[in-house]
């Protein structure tokens, strides 16, 4: 089916890659998170875990020391830590646990334990995972929109892409993923779209 429009604003967001740990869906957004700047304050001074199997969790573990003394990095059998990073983690009293994890358990959205393959458990009040995200950029891709190396649509400061009439705003765009940024980008795009349409309507032919 074809749709026609003078302008198109793509604001399709992104999908966080939630690690495939048994039980995680019961806690995501309540006591398991991906963003320390969104959810760190609510779990300050608690037992915080960082889960990083497919990515290097060094930065996230260090960031979370802002909110709690008790941070443990769980690498689930793999790790991508450099020797200098391991030294910093030690100096900052961040434990690194590399045992295989099978599940997380708790009740009513509140995670309480990390469960290992050897049936041991460790207490945990909040878990932050580092597992990347996928942009929902199918529309921009189907329009062959120019993208940067990370596959994110290139825009100017008014959210205009390099295709006339196309705008991109929110998580699908290149900036940080915070509601205030998303709203600001939407506002800039909205104003720009309206101005462009007015100009085009009054253009002397
Ligand atoms: C657990 C969690 C906690 C967070 N906490 C905070 C916080 O405390 N503070 C903060 O600032 N930010 C927080 N964020 C981030 C914030 O939610 C996002 O930055 C924001 O919601 C992104 O808005 P968006 O409109 O760009 O995308 P979205 O909110 O993802 O909206 C995109 C919409 O487009 C729809 N869509 C996708 N593809 C299509 C299509 N092809 N056709 C039609 N519709 C489509 C989707 O269904 C969705 O409804 C959090 C995110 C999560 C997941």
pLDDT of residue 147: 87
Q: Which two tokens stand for residue 60?
A: 């996230």
Ligand 1 near 178 CB (within 6 A): yes
Residue 137 pLDDT level (bands cut at 50, 70, 90): low
Task: Identify the CA nearest to 152 among candidates 132, 167, 135, 138.
Answer: 135
| Average pLDDT over every residue of 93-121 | 97
Q: In this model, does residue 53 exceed pLDDT 70?
A: yes
Locate CATH 3.50.50.60 in the chain.
8-15+134-202, 18-129
**Considering the entire predicted model, what is its pTM?**
0.91
Distance CA 176, CA 159 (A): 14
Q: Which CATH class is domain 8-15+134-202?
A: alpha beta
Ligand 1 near 181 CB (within 6 A): no
Asked: is 18-129 a CATH 3.50.50.60 domain? The reply is yes
Q: In this model, does residue 193 exceed pLDDT 70?
A: yes
- Degrees, nearest 5: CA angle 115-121-126: 75
Q: In this model, does residue 195 exceed pLDDT 90?
A: yes
Distance CA 55, CA 21 (A): 15
Ligand 1 near 109 CB (within 6 A): no
């Amino acid at each position: 089916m074809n749709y026609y429009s003078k302008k198109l604003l793509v604001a399709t967001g992104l999908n966080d890659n939630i690690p495939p740990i048994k039980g995680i869906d019961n806690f995501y957004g309540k006591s398991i998170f991906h963003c320390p700047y969104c959810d760190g304050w609510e779990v300050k001074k608690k037992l915080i875990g960082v889960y990083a199997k497919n990515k290097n969790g060094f930065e996230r573990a260090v960031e979370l020391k802002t909110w709690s003394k008790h941070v443990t990095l769980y690498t689930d059998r793999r790790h991508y830590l450099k020797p200098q990073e391991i030294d910093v983690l030690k100096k900052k009293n961040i434990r690194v646990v590399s045992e295989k994890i099978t599940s997380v358990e708790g009740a009513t959205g509140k995670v309480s334990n990390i469960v290992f393959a050897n049936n041991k458990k460790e207490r945990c009040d909040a878990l932050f995972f580092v597992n990347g995200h996928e942009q929902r950029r199918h529309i921009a891709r189907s329009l062959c929109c120019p993208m940067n190396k990370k596959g994110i649509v290139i825009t100017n400061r008014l959210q205009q892409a390099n295709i006339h009439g196309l705008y991109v705003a929110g998580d699908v765009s290149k900036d940080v993923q915070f509601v205030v940024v998303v709203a600001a980008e939407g506002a800039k795009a909205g104003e720009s779209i309206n101005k462009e349409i007015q100009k085009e309507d009054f253009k002397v032919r």
